[in-house]
Amino acid sequence: MRILGIETSCDETSAAVVEETGDAAKPWVIRSNVIASQVPIHREWGGVVPELASRQHIRDICGVVERALADAETAWRDIGAIAVTQGPGLVGSLLVGVSFAKSAAAAAGVPLVAVHHLAGHIESLVLQNGELPLPAVVLVVSGGHTSLYDVDRPGRYRLLSRTRDDAAGEAYDKVAKLLGLGYPGGPIIDRLAAAGDDRAVPLPTTRLTHADRNAPQLKGDLDFSFSGLKTAVLRYVRAHDGPLADGEVADICASFQRVVVTALIERAFAAARRTQARSIGVAGGVSANSRLRAELKAHGDAREMPTFVPSLTLSTDNAAMIAAAGLRKFRAGSTATFDLNADAALPL
Ligand code: KG4
Ligand code: ZN
């Protein structure tokens, strides 16, 4: 069976065709994955402007879907189901995908599957690498989320911890903005950090020891916090006399990146010890980060722990991961009705 996936939760309009293989170890293959990025539109404003994002999704969605079908050499009659991101994300953006998917499913007479955006990021690991050795610990680290999940069987995600404040990608974007580097900040800081000294700027690490009052069911000691780090960079920059030289910017980037990556790696491996995980996966936009990828591999090799990341294209938002998660849900018997609504704060 082939499924059409649609993703419009933030600033990428994406459609993809993913097919089942029949091989339990490597269940899906990508037939097409078309991504129309809105980055040039939002760059001017230094971040995503929700109203501009939803309007651009409306302009792009028909063409992106047509292109995904054409690239996959797939006709509407060959599509067995349509999967769409229901949330979380920007509600106006989500609504474009959800409305389009409902209309297309009704017109084509195929089932509709509602997908959680983070389930998509988690399944991007399986789409890329095949089924992970379970139980697995999966770190989803993006512009909107930084969360650790225990995946004890395929398609079941149990939250272990999350950020108390900023997401890691959000911290990258904010630090890049305050350094005047542009949007999105993650790839820029990643590149500049290569030329910097990662010990040059003293920056704080935050380790939480108490449970969060808002989430008493979680122990809390594996939670993340990045807003103090961002504020420390801001203070450092403000205390600096005059404009920063290129070398100083590179040092700040490298030092900031070291602290972020260390926190992510430490907590992912601590979670894996706690759940006796047989593998660790890292997904979401920040998993494209070069230092995070390198340290994940090095730590995994040193501890004989298999580690997995998606390809760079599957790291950031895309519809192929939504199609994959949709196939997983469809095979588990879960379809949506036509009263499906977007949910900006959908829980996983
Ligand atoms: O998953 P994603 O495309 O969208 C969300 O669901 O949020 O993630 C986007 C985030 C942005 O914050 C961006 O700065 C960050 O991923 N990002 C990176 C890198 N590439 C993208 N962060 C650090 N290093 C990178 N190379
Ligand atoms: Zn995402």
Give 289-318 pLDDT, tens digit per residue. Answer: 999 999 999 999 999 999 999 999 999 999
Q: Alpha-carbon distance 27 to 157, whole Å?
A: 18
pLDDT tens digits, residue range 8-39? 999 999 999 999 999 999 999 999 999 999 99
CB 108 within 8 A of CB 76: yes
Residue 216 has pLDDT above 90, yes or no: no
CA distance 348 to 345: 9
Say yes or no: CB of residue 289 within 6 Å of ligand 1. Answer: yes
Give the C-alpha distances (Å, rounded to integers) separating 48 from 41, 90, 114, 339: 8, 10, 24, 28
pLDDT digit string (tens) for 79-126?
Answer: 999 999 999 999 999 999 999 999 999 999 999 999 999 999 999 999
The backbone torsions φ and ψ at residue 227, rounded to the nearest 5 degrees and listed phi first, read -75, -30
Ligand 1 neighbourhood includes 10 CB (under 6 angstroms): yes
Closest CA to 101 of 90, 85, 89: 85
184 lines ligand 1 (CB under 6 A): yes
Q: Give the distance (Å) from ligand 1 centre to CA of residue 109.
A: 36
Q: Which pLDDT belongs to residue 175? A: 98
How is 99-159 classified by DSSP, letter by letter?
HHHHHHHHHHT--EEEEEHHHHHHHHHHHHH-SPPSSEEEEEESSS-EEEEEE-STT--EE
* Candidate from 183, 261, 311, 316 with most ligand 1 atoms within 8 A of CB, to mutate: 316
Query: For the ranges 40-44, 124-128, 158-162, which has the lowest average pLDDT?
Result: 40-44
Question: pLDDT value at position 160?
Answer: 97
3 state DSSP class of 196: coil
Atom of ligand 1 nearest to the CA of 315: 1
- At 151 the pLDDT is 98
The reported pLDDT for the residue numbered 92 is 98
For the segment 183-188, the average pLDDT, to the nearest whole number, is 95
Distances in Å between the alpha carbon of 23 and those of 19, 28, 124, 306? 11, 8, 17, 21
| Ligand 1 pocket member 7 (CB < 6 A) | no
d(CA 343, CA 60): 21
Predicted pLDDT of residue 104: 98
Q: What phi and psi, each to the nearest 5 degrees, are found at residue 322?
A: -70, -40
pLDDT attached to residue 210: 87
Confidence of residue 217 (pLDDT cuts 50, 70, 90): confident
pLDDT the model gives residue 214: 86
The pLDDT score that the predictor gives to residue 215 is: 86
Amino acid at 27: P
Ligand in closest contact with the CA of 146: 1
| Range 54-64 average pLDDT | 98
pLDDT category, 225, cuts 50, 70, 90? Answer: very high
Span from the CA of 234 to the centroid of ligand 1 (angstroms): 20
| Least trusted range by pLDDT, from 129-133, 181-185, 189-193, 340-344 | 181-185
pLDDT in tens, 201-214: 999 998 888 899 88
Q: Percent of the chain at pLDDT above 70? A: 100
CA nearest ligand 1 atom 8, residue:
285
Closest atom of ligand 1 to 169 CA is 12
Average pLDDT, the chain: 97
